[in-house]
A and B are shown apart, each in its own frame.
Chain A
């Protein structure tokens, strides 16, 4: 597709369950980012992938959170043993390689709205 695609758009699950969120970036974009946004708040950085480099995981809030990016394209964000405070919108973005194209913006998907009961 032309834009960043995320699935599912909405996810409701019970506390303690694991969830997996998917992001399909724009074709040709080597950089991929995950953010979390709580209601009325700004974007909280979670993790950043750039090509084959080791990901920047500095924003992951706990070891229950993990992400992978297979084949340099699709990424999945996994949250294990979900807690109610994990409820938020999870946004994925992609861009061209920022160190070679610093003026290139990140393009965002529509997000996954996660609700933990």
Chain B
């Protein structure tokens, strides 16, 4: 099966940077996704990595190292609306290519 670990909670200040780490173990890695979920809402797709390196999308970037089973999501120039849970999810060929989600990291942005 898959093991996906991410911190439970992080706090940061408006305008600052926060890095959310995710470590995983899979037997047939086939991509890693980051989702954002505001309280009471559905998760929405943020980013996708399948090759090593950094993918940048505006204020959000995601990094992957397949050899280390490690990814991070970087949120820059934090805004109050970035307060949400951030979910790391891994696609595994050995599990029929379905996504398995980590427990999520709740980020609280303070003024």
Q: Which residues of A contact B (CB under 8 A)?
A: 33, 35, 40-43, 45, 48, 50, 56, 91, 98-99, 102-103, 105-111
Cross-chain contact of A102 among B30, B44, B95, B106 (Cβ < 8 A)? B30
Task: Please give the number of chain B residues whose Cβ is less than 8 angstroms from any Cβ of chain A in the complex.
Answer: 26
- How far does the Cβ of B64 sit from chain A's closest Cβ, in whole Å? 13
> By the criterion CB–CB under 8 Å, are A42 and B103 in contact?
yes
Q: Which residues of B contact A (CB under 8 A)?
A: 30-31, 33, 35, 41-45, 48, 50, 87, 89, 91, 93, 95-104, 106
> By the criterion CB–CB under 8 Å, are B45 and A105 in contact?
yes
**New contact pairs (16) apart from A43-B101, A98-B97, A108-B44, CB-CB < 8 Å:** A33-B98, A41-B103, A42-B87, A42-B103, A43-B43, A45-B98, A48-B98, A56-B96, A98-B91, A99-B97, A102-B91, A105-B35, A105-B45, A106-B45, A106-B99, A110-B42
Contact A109/B91 with A43-B101, A45-B100, A56-B98 known, Cβ cut-off 8 Å: no
- How far does the Cβ of A77 sit from chain B's closest Cβ, in whole Å? 16
What are the residues of chain A within 8 A of B104 when measuring CB–CB?
A: 41-43
> By the criterion CB–CB under 8 Å, are B33 and A105 in contact?
yes
Q: Report Cα–Cα, A106/B41, bound state, in Å.
A: 15
> By the criterion CB–CB under 8 Å, are A105 and B48 in contact?
yes
Query: What residue of chain A has the Cβ atom nearest to residue B48's Cβ?
Result: A103
Cross-chain contact of B98 among A91, A98, A109 (Cβ < 8 A)? A98
Q: Report Cα–Cα, A98/B31, bound state, in Å.
A: 10
What are the residues of chain B within 8 A of A111 when measuring CB–CB?
A: 42
Q: Report Cα–Cα, A89/B96, bound state, in Å.
A: 24
